[in-house]
Amino acid sequence: MSGSGKSFYAKKIFQKLQKKERKIFIIDGDDVRKYITYNLGYSLNDRQKNSKIISDLCKYFESKNYLVICSILSIFRDHQKRNRKFFNKYIQISIEVPKKKLIKRNNKSIYNKRDVVGKNIKFPKPYKPDLLINNDFDETYKANLKKIIALINAK
């Protein structure tokens, strides 16, 4: 959900893998909304459109031989299922944080707004994530990062 650490982990993964001289690109859901889909709101219909655009953008970079790291709040199981078939090497990582902890942290004041996933929009369990990590916002991120890197290298 919002504030769980998606962008944080994406940046850490990028830093680790960049050292191996790979072509890597990060697609962050917040950046896509800011620069590409700024005309879309947060209704379920607009969220579906945004999700599809992000998926297509990831596919474009994959077609150019980039390893794509995408940090997005994904609430559409049908999109998650499609992504498994759509991408050559797809890994889905789910970050779990207790909802009460996220609302208390509220680091971007997201939970003060309307149309928030986890508040008034249901957050469904992700469809068959390849890795489920718990983010405690402490040094345990290092062990989580090692698990993620190992999974990526195995693909």
CATH number of the domain within which 50 lies? 3.40.50.300
Please say if the pLDDT value at position 130 is more than 90: yes
Q: How many domains does the chain have?
A: 1
In angstroms, rounded to a whole number, what is the distance separating the alpha carbons of residues 109 and 80?
A: 27
Residue 132 phi, psi dihedral angles, 5° rounding: -120, 120
Establish if 1 belongs to a structural domain. no
CA-wise closest residue to 1 among 112, 88, 119, 89: 119
Residue 107 CA, distance from chain mean position: 17
pLDDT digits (tens, 9 = 90+) for 77-88: 999 999 999 999
Q: What are the respective helix, strand and coil percentages of the chain, to the nearest 5?
A: 50, 15, 40
Can you give the residue range of the structural domain that contains 84? 6-154
Q: Is residue 108 part of a domain?
A: yes
Amino acid occupying residue 30:
D
pLDDT value of position 21:
66
In a domain, 47, yes or no: yes
Tens digit of each residue's pLDDT (9 = 90 or more) over 8-49: 999 999 999 987 767 999 999 999 999 999 999 988 999 999
What pLDDT, on the 0 to 100 scale, is given for residue 19?
77
pTM score: 0.90
